[in-house]
Structure 1
Amino acid sequence: MSEACSGRHDSGAIARSTALKMTDILAFAASPTFAIMALLTGVMGGGPMETICSTAHASPLNGMVTMYLLMSAFHASPWLKLIRTRTHTRTRRSH
């Protein structure tokens, strides 16, 4: 008899479900976190390491700000999927 029919709980399935939920939370948290870090770094400056490591100081988008913006863009896919599914759901309801 399978575990689903016997009423027993599979602790492995619960752990996998919890891990997936945590992964979803982290996936949604990454893009805004990097965007905030880019904003703070751009406003407050990169600190002493930024001045040592950067070769040109002509643009505030050099160094760490650019890296944080790129990381935010690379991690934006969960947000884009969410927006796409909500837009798709709204258009289907209106028809």
Structure 2
Amino acid sequence: MGDKSAVEELLNRNTSLLTEKNIKGNTPLHLTARISHVDVVEFLIYHAEKLDVENGGVYEVISMRNMKDDTPLHEAVRGGHHLVTSLLVKKVVEANHSDL
């Protein structure tokens, strides 16, 4: 719903929620990218960057696919959310993974 403080509280309690999927395979980043809550997207990416690099870190989070085989970047582009799209493209480039 775009409530950054609620997201922050949940992630402080359990960081693994960042990679949890709902019944349609969507992660929190999929959902926030779809509805363009830029501040929450930035916050989720910030937390993803703190994840263990051996486990994929931020790349794991931005590359997760839902049941339709879409990444959060697909959701942002499809919705025409230019700021979120730019943020995610920047992270893809930084991660040096063009497969997204």
Name the TM-score, length of structure 2 as normaliser.
0.24
Structure with a larger share of its residues in helix: 1
Name the TM-score, length of structure 1 as normaliser.
0.24
- Structure possessing the higher radius of gyration over alpha carbons: 1
